[in-house]
């Protein structure tokens, strides 16, 4: 029973993380890129409030559940669930080392004056973590389908 519950947590959680990242990639980020600096800074501050602390908590719960499944699972799941968790650690690393520092640097910016537009670099980091999340989703899906 625990194995089935954790499998559900990992599948739903990884799918949710990937879905949110894809939505940001295809809709939110392009909209933010089209904004002038003042509107961008305001929108960024408002959007950030909705993602924190939900996303880090969700990714951590799913990561730990995947490692637990590596112990509980049989067959390919013994390797695939922890592999997906490693990919999710990559998601966290990209977030904390790439996107979060950029996000924090925006908090003190004024709507005018010199600046180096952070959006291209933020999008590049976001594409990387989206790809890692999608790979994690594919991995947990295969692991769940291959379960004996």
At 35, give phi and psi (nearest 5°).
Answer: -85, 150
State pLDDT tens for residues 71-126. 999 999 999 999 999 999 999 999 999 999 999 999 888 888 888 999 999 999 99
Asked if the model's pLDDT at residue 51 lies above 90, the reply is no
State pLDDT tens for residues 126-142. 999 999 999 999 999 99
**Domain extents in the chain:** 2-145
Spatial distance between the Cα atoms of 26 and 105, rounded to a whole number of angstroms: 24
- Whole-model pTM: value is 0.95
Spatial distance between the Cα atoms of 135 and 133, rounded to a whole number of angstroms: 5
The predicted structure's pLDDT at residue 128: 98
């Amino acid at each position: 029973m625990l194995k089935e519950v954790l499998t559900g947590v990992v599948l739903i959680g990884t799918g949710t993380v990937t879905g949110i990242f894809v939505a940001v990639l295809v809709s939110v980020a392009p909209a933010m890129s089209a904004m002038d600096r003042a509107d961008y800074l305001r929108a960024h501050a408002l959007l950030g409030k909705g993602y924190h602390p939900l996303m880090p908590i969700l990714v951590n719960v799913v990561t730990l559940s995947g490692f637990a499944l590596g112990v509980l699972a049989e067959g390919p799941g013994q390797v695939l669930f922890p592999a997906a968790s490693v990919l999710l650690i990559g998601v966290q690393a990209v977030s904390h080392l790439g996107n979060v520092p950029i996000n924090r640097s925006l908090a003190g910016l004024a709507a005018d004056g010199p600046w180096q537009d952070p959006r291209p670099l933020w999008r590049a980091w976001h594409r990387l973590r989206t790809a890692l999340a999608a790979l994690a989703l594919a991995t947990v899906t295969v692991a769940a389908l291959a379960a004996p």
